[in-house]
Structure 1
Amino acid sequence: MTVATVVDLLPTVELAELVERASLQTRVDRKYLLTPGQAGQFLDRLAETAAPRVLCIDRRRDSGYDSLYLDTPDLAGYHLAARGRRRRFKVRRRTYLETGETWLELKTRGPRGATVKQRSLEGSRAFLDDALAAAGLPDLRGVPLVPVLMTSYRRTSLLLPGHGTDTDSRLTMDAGLRWSTPDGRQLELPDRVVVETKSGAQSSAADRLLWRAGCRPARISKFGTGLAALHPTLPANRWHPVLTRHLTPRELS
């Protein structure tokens, strides 16, 4: 059973309801790297047990995402993440290809390792500076933020309705991931699906199903892992298992 086959059979949810029920701007993220076959089996089992609904926009059940990551010229954001600093940040301009919207987004770390995402449609630098200051991060006023990495992929988004003690949560499945740098380097990940659960403090039904199947969260960051793979001289111990297990020379283009 392929991901596309299962997705075509799922009931749908509109974007407004998904955002209302499970926007989860402050959340716990867990990521897993699965082969396409594993992803299809997992989703088939999830459909039997958790009643997921798939996001549908203009009759499409997946969406294209392009992201441009920004950092300081000395890669301050990257180095904070590579060293596992609790106070770290990630800045990107994300374009949703189906709607044409582009948002300026800032990700920081909240209490107990939670991910906090803030975003602005206007995309002003003042928004970033104020949000960084409020998060207790270094003052970057006057420091340029420059493009360092681009990503593109197709995303399938699912709403997982809460049952029992579970609250509503989200699940995304990203396929066809491609990284590129402004100087023209490229890297593809054609044989992996990045599955990400986004929930509150508790693990989701999807997490527990993956754990029972022997799948454990992988330390992958589209920003950090991509930069480390394309710039081998950067410190990358944090992402070494992913780089050695899932990224191979044949995937370089």
Structure 2
Amino acid sequence: MSTPRLSPAELRDLAPLSLEEVNERAALITRSCRKYLFPADLLPELFTGQFGVLEIEGLRSFRYSSTYLDTPCLQTFRDHRQGRRLRFKARVRTYLDTGTRMFEVKAKGARGLTEKVRTAYDGPPDQLVPAMRRFLEDTLAGYGISPPGPLVASAVTDYRRTTIVALSGEERVTVDTDLVGRRGGRSVRMRPDTVLLEVKTRGGLTPTERRLHRHGFREVRFSKYTTTVAALEPGMRGNPWHRAMAAHLDRPRADDLVEDLSA
């Protein structure tokens, strides 16, 4: 059973925006990012004509695959679980509809804001080539973070994403569905009636968040990478995300039972 995707009817009142227009209105590279998990049938009530939606060649929903790189002892995962003030994630993100690939570093600095730095990448998604290792170390040095030890592929997350932007530029909202996390030959799937929404902004609560609050939904602690590892790695606790995992993830299973999202 597949997670419900955003249908044209649900988005018909939203103006199509090119990638250039989205970035011009709300690039929000330095930002606060808050996450919400809620039923998919609430989506049509959240967005009005005050929003536009990213559209490329007629598509408004895009397939993503992210390969996360961590130390063999999962130090990045542990830093996030412990809530360390200075921390980062490194991943290779592949845009499956175009074949484009980027190496991304997401770092959280002293101000508590998440910053994402990225560069084009033409290497294998599960290996960090020397040039990207230098890129990573140079990026982390700017945050006062010591370079990690050797990095290996530690998890893969596949999902579909729709990007919605307030025409005022106040907020950029990503809506993720069909989320599957994979590690070590096993996989875990987000429940089919659940949507993961991320609100990216430089300010306080946005109009979208106020609507969610009126429906009784509050910000949750949820990370695609860390919940995948916590769900699939034997003996690895995921205390900060336990409640969200229990409510919104199905039981882990053998990876060969999970349908291919690229089909």
Which TM-score applies when normalising by structure 2?
0.86
Question: Which blocks of at least 5 consecutive residues in structure 2 are unaligned?
Answer: 122-130, 258-263
The answer on whether the counterparts of 1:158 and 1:172 sit within 8 Å (CA) in structure 2 is yes
- Compute the displacement of 1:110 (Å): 2.7
4+ long deviations beyond 3 Å: 250-253
Aligned partner of 1:26 in structure 2 is: 30
Number of corresponding residues: 241
The equivalences for 1:141-220 within 5 A come to 143-162=149-168, 167-181=169-183, 183-189=184-190, 190-220=192-222
Structure 1 residue 60, shift from structure 2 partner? 0.4
The residue that corresponds to 2:124 in the other structure is none
The CA deviation at 1:111 is 4.0
For 1:84 and 1:232, the matched residues in 2 are separated by 21
- Name the SS of the counterpart of 1:78 in structure 2: helix
**Equivalent residues of 1:84, 1:238 under 8 A apart:** no
In percent, how many aligned pairs have the same letter? 38
Note if contact 2:91-2:104 (Cα within 8 Å) is conserved in structure 1: yes
Residue 213 of structure 1 aligns with an amino acid whose one-letter code is: H
8 Å CA contact 2:186–2:252 kept in 1: the answer is no
User: What aligned pairs does 1:50-199 form with structure 2 within 5 A after superposition?
Assistant: 51-122=50-121, 124-140=132-148, 143-162=149-168, 167-181=169-183, 183-189=184-190, 190-199=192-201
Separation of aligned partners in 1, 2:253 and 2:41: 18
C-alpha deviation, 1:250, in angstroms: 7.9
TM-superposed CA distance for 1:10, in Å, is: 1.9
Instruction: Give deviations 1:194-224, integer Å, cap 9, x for gaps.
Output: 0111110322211111112211011100011
Shift of the 70–193 alpha-carbon distance from structure 1 to 2, 3 Å rule, reads: same
TM value normalised by structure 1: 0.89
Q: Which has the higher helix share?
A: 1
**2-side partners of 1:91 and 1:83: how far apart?**
18
Tell me the secondary structure at the aligned position of residue 34 of structure 2: strand
The amino acid across from 2:26 in the alignment is A
Tell me, yes or no, if the aligned pair for 1:158 and 1:171 is still in contact at 8 Å. yes
